Amino acid sequence: MREAAFCIVDLETTGLDLTTDTIINAAAVKIKKGRITKIYETYVKPPTSIPPESIQFHGITDDMLVDKPSIGEVLPEFMTFIGDSMITGHHINFDLKMLDRHLRENYDCNLEGAPWLDTMLLHKLVMENNTSTQLDDLLNVYCIDCEQRHRALGDSIATAKVFLRILHELSNSYQTLNDLYRAQQDMSRKENM
């Protein structure tokens, strides 16, 4: 499992509607051999103005994005950076669905069937009785600081650090990436019952 390549992904968006909102900040952090090896970040100019409630959440304004590329221009480079790494993130389902929608709209392709890991579910394998699911809670549990919380790069680096701590905690229980993936999928099914 130590040889596996992981890519921690985080997106900031104009809102939470998977059908109408759009990506405005994307970051990815590559992990190989138990350490962060590469970092990618980009800002994206949305087709519409960012709602005030979203600006209040992440602090990204329309003025900051005036000269930034469109999502269609960003996706090829972003997906190339991810490559064949295992996509990983915190509450990654939202990010995957948002990314998948933009891939379908811009390039008629999708992430269907792509394997993924979620630090929220993996943490529950470490601490089964812990009901805490927010990234801030996990940062506290693992004593990790986060610079620029609610920005894609800050959140992806913090999530990468959480993920590395979780991998360390689970290394004696799960010998292969497939074992870990199956355990997470079982946890996901339990969550959805």
Q: What is the pLDDT of residues 47-60, one digit of tens each?
A: 999 999 999 999 99
**CA distances for 34 relative to 1, 92, 160, 171, 178, angstroms:** 9, 20, 10, 11, 17
Answer with the residue of higher pLDDT: 126 or 64.
Answer: 64
- Return mean pLDDT, the chain: 93
**Arithmetic mean of pLDDT, 131-158:** 87
pLDDT for 131 beyond 70: no
10 Å CB burial of residue 44 (0-12, 13-18, 19+) is buried
Which pTM value belongs to this model? Answer: 0.93
CATH of 5-191, one of 3.40.190.10, 3.30.420.10, 3.30.230.10, 2.40.160.40: 3.30.420.10
The secondary element (H helix, E strand) that includes residue 36 is: strand 35-43
Question: Could you tell me the two tokens for 136?
Answer: 């801030």
pLDDT for 29 beyond 80: yes
Answer with the residue of higher pLDDT: 98 or 114.
Answer: 98
**Nearest by Cα to 168 from 39, 10, 35:** 35
